Amino acid sequence: MNSGPADSPWEEILAESVTGAGMIAELFGLDADELKSVTERYPMRINPYYLGLIRRKHDPIYRQCIPDIREIRLDDGLDDPLAEEAFSPVPGLTHRYPDRVLFLVSASCAMYCRFCNRKRKVGRPSMVNDATIEAGLAYIRRHEEIRDVLLSGGDPLLLSDERLGEILSALRAISHVEIIRIGSRVPCTLPHRITQRLTDLLKQFHPLYLNTHFNHPDELTPEAGAACVRLADAGIPLGCQTVLLRGVNDDPGTMRELMQKLLMVRVRPYYLFQADLARGTAHFWTPLEKGIEIIRELQGHTSGLCLPHFAIDLPGGGGKIPFLPQYVESRGSNSLEVKNFRGQTFRYPLSPF
Ligand SMILES: *Cc1c(COP(=O)(O)O)cnc(C)c1O
Ligand code: SF4
C-alpha cells in the first residue's frame, strides 16, 4: 500500500508542533520573554518536519517560522493590507474580481509563517466556522457570475478529508462554478498531508487546480517533491505563489534555483508577490526594484516556464497588478527601440504590414 511520503500520519506530526516560546528560546539561545511577547500577539506553530529543515540560526527556513521581536517593535503596516474585509459580502469570503471569489475555509496552517498577510487572523478559531462556510456557499450559489472559487485560509488542506469532501461536493453541485482552486502551503510545510487518500478525493472534483507556496530551494526536500508529484499524478495542475522576502529569497540566484527546482517536481511558478504591507512583517519588505531585478535576471536567461508574474496586491483592495522590467527603450514614429535580455538593442516595426 502506498501511504503518505513518510510513515507517521500527518495528524500526529502536526500534534507535535512547537507552539510555546520556551523550547524555541532554549534551542536557539533566544530571550524567552521577548519571544513570548511576540507569540502572545501572533501565534507560533512549527511542526517537527518544518523545524527539522532549519540548518542554522537565521537561515531562510528559520526566518520564515521563528518569531522575531521586530514583529511587535516595528509598527509599520496595516491590519488588513488588502482590505479583504471591506470587499467581504459575508465573513470569510472576498469578492473583489468580477468572476471569482476568495473563500476562507480553514483558520489553521501547518506552520504559521511570520510574514503572513493574514497574521492578525490565522490560528484564531473565530476566523472561520461552519456558519461562515455555509454563508459563503450560499453567497456563491446566489451569484451566477462566480465561475472560479479559490479556497484558502488558513490552509484548506488542514481540514479532514471528510470535511474537505463536503465543501468540494457542495461547490461542484453549483452549476456556474467552473473552476475550483485550492491555495495550500502543506506540500511545502507538511508534505505528509498529501496522502493517496487525499489525492483520490481531490481528483473527483476536476477541473481542480492547486497553488502551493514555496519560498526557498531548501524547502524542496524529497518529501515535498513526492507530495507535489503525487498531486500532479492525480491530474491536478500545480502552481506556486512565492513571496519575495528580505533575507529569505531576495536574490536572483536563489530565486532561479527555486523556480527551476519547482519545475522538476511539476510545479509551474505562477506569482512572485511583493510582500504585502501587513503590520508585523516590515522586516521582510524589499524595495519594489528588487522584484523587477529578479524577473529581469530570469527572463531569457532561463526557460519561460520558470517565470512567475511579479505582482503586488494593492493596499486598499485594488487587486493584483503585474510589474515587468522595461524592455522598450524608445518609440519612434514607425518603430520601437527595444533591449533584449542581454542588453542588446533592436528595432521592431510598429505595424509590420
Ligand atoms: C488573488 C485573489 C484572487 C485570484 O486572483 P488570480 O489573479 O485569478 O489568481 C481572487 N480573489 C481575491 C480576493 C484575491 O486576492
Ligand atoms: S500558510 Fe499561508 S495562510 Fe498560513 S501562515 Fe503561511 S502564509 Fe499565512
Residue 301's pLDDT is what? Answer: 95
Q: How wide is the angle at C-alpha 267 spanned by C-alphas 280 and 311, nearest 5°?
A: 45
How far are the Cα atoms of 252, 266, 292, 338, 339 from residue 344, in angstroms, in the given order? 21, 33, 19, 8, 5
Residue pLDDT, tens place only, 290-314: 999 999 999 999 999 999 999 999 9
Cell 472561520 belongs to which residue?
128
Q: Is 283 in the pocket of ligand 1 (CB under 6 A)?
A: no
Residue 84's pLDDT is what? Answer: 85
- Torsion over CA: 302, 274, 157, 45 (sign): positive
Question: Which three cell numbers mark 111?
Answer: 506552520
Instruction: Name every residue whose Cβ is closer than 8 Å to that of residue 249 and which is 6 or more positions away in sequence.
Output: 60, 215, 216, 242, 255, 258
Residue pLDDT, tens place only, 64-108: 999 999 999 998 999 888 888 889 999 999 999 999 999 999 999
Confidence of residue 4 (pLDDT cuts 50, 70, 90): very low
Residue 353's pLDDT is what? Answer: 74
Confidence of residue 13 (pLDDT cuts 50, 70, 90): very high
Question: Which three cell numbers mark 105?
Answer: 475555509
Pocket test for ligand 2, best of 63, 104, 155 (most atoms within 8 A of CB): 155
Residue pLDDT, tens place only, 151-177: 999 999 999 999 999 999 999 999 999
DSSP letters spanning 114-151? TT-TTTTTTT-GGG--HHHHHHHHHHHHH-TT--EEEE
- pLDDT (mean) for 126-131: 90
Rounded to a whole number of angstroms, the distance between the first and last alpha carbons of the chain is 62
Determine the 3-state secondary structure of 212 from DSSP: strand
Q: How wide is the angle at C-alpha 158 spanned by C-alphas 236 and 28, nearest 5°?
A: 115
Please say whether the beta carbons of 184 and 155 come within 8 A: yes
Confidence of residue 7 (pLDDT cuts 50, 70, 90): low
Residue 230's pLDDT is what? Answer: 98
Ligand 1 centroid vs 219 CA: distance in angstroms?
Answer: 25
Q: Which domains does the chain have, with CATH numbers?
A: 53-322 (3.20.20.70)
In this predicted structure, the answer to whether residue 6 has a pLDDT above a threshold of 60 is no
Instruction: Name every residue whose Cβ is closer than 8 Å to that of residue 229 and which is 6 or more positions away in sequence.
Output: 265, 266
Pocket test for ligand 2, best of 113, 121, 210, 243 (most atoms within 8 A of CB): 113
- pLDDT (mean) for 26-51: 97
Please say whether the beta carbons of 94 and 101 come within 8 A: yes
Query: Running DSSP on this structure, what letter comes out for residue 18?
Result: B
Give the residue numbers marked as catalytic: 96-97, 100, 109, 113, 116, 118, 276, 313, 320
Greater confidence, 267 or 7? 267
Residue pLDDT, tens place only, 246-256: 999 999 999 99
Mean pLDDT for the chain? Answer: 95
Residue 123's pLDDT is what? Answer: 87
Give the count of beta carbons closer than 10 Å to the beta carbon of residue 125.
Answer: 8
Instruction: Quote the distance between the C-alpha of residue 42 and its chain's center.
Output: 18
Q: List all residues whose CB is within 6 A of at least one atom of ligand 2.
A: 109, 112-113, 116, 118, 122, 153-155, 185
In this predicted structure, the answer to whether residue 231 has a pLDDT above a threshold of 80 is yes
